[in-house]
Amino acid sequence: MLKCKHIAAYPEEYLAMFKAPKDGTGDTLREFVNAIERMAGPSGLTFRDEHDRLKFKGDVLEVLAELFFTRFNSDPALGLTDYIPINIEDDYGIDAKGTNANNDLAVVQIKYRNNPADVVTYADIARTFTSGVLQHRLDPSKSKNVFVFTTAMAVSRQCTNVFDDKLVVVSRNIIKRAIDNNRNFWKRCFEEVQNYVSYHSGDSFAI
């Protein structure tokens, strides 16, 4: 069952967003991002402030990231096993952690971008790396142990220059290749979200 707790705040909205791609209407990353933008837009949910609006967008991507890494956990290039989301009160730059293909601890930063050209910055990844080493005993001598899951096209040049082989960037194009028009993936996603909602609410939320 999904470990990410964000669904509990908006169960029906999460079900709606994952139902459309499951049914074959909106089963690409671009269309899913558009659905997030609509849900967070003026005619969608009501938020207290802009911070909460941006947090909602990031939270949805964190749910998608858990579903992604769970489904593709055996991929030698980007797979993670033992995927565990980090509680918000413990989030100082890390959104999740897991075990990479080398059987080493890896940390995950998840960055939502509506504009694909808005790259992930060095400051973002520096916080992830520092928190990993100081709080989670990430081994700074290991490679492929800092994962970035993002709807941006890339990370900044500073990131790649400094972190080099430690960095695994699961970028917009990589995500697209894996999930666009992948009906089985989206079907499993909806089932996971529905199971989470049913377990925590006692209702099926069949829509």
Which domains are present in the chain? 6-201 (3.40.1350)
- Find the radius of gyration of the CA atoms of the chain: 16
Res 39: pLDDT? 96
What strands, in cross-sheet order, belong to the sheet with 81-85? 81-85, 96-99, 105-111, 146-150, 167-170
What is the number of alpha carbons within 13 Å of residue 100 lying toward its C-beta? Answer: 20
For residue range 95-146, what is the model confidence (pLDDT) as tens digits? 999 999 999 999 999 999 999 999 999 999 999 999 999 999 999 999 999 9
Region 67-73: mean pLDDT is 97
For residue 69, pLDDT over 80 is answered with yes
> Which residue in 34, 73, 19 sits closest to 151, CA to CA?
34
pLDDT class of 87 with cuts at 50, 70, 90: confident
- Give me the percent of the chain exceeding a pLDDT of 90: 92
The two structure tokens encoding residue 147: 């994962």
- Give me the percent of the chain exceeding a pLDDT of 70: 96
Q: pTM of this prediction? A: 0.95
How far, in Å, CA of 49 to CA of 55, rounded? 10
Q: Are the C-beta atoms of 89 and 203 separated by less than 8 Å?
A: no
How far, in Å, CA of 105 to CA of 184, rounded? 29
The two structure tokens encoding residue 100: 């990479």
Rounded to a whole number, what is the distance in angstroms from the first to the last CA of the chain?
20
Res 91: pLDDT? 63
Alpha helices by DSSP H, listed for 41-108, are: 50-71
Res 88: pLDDT? 72
For residue range 154-191, what is the model confidence (pLDDT) as tens digits? 999 999 999 999 999 999 999 999 999 999 999 999 99
Main-chain phi, psi angles of 175, to 5 degrees = -60, -45
Residue 90 has what DSSP assignment?
A: G
Instruction: Please list the residues that pair with 81 across neighbouring strands.
Output: 99
How far, in Å, CA of 25 to CA of 92, rounded? 36
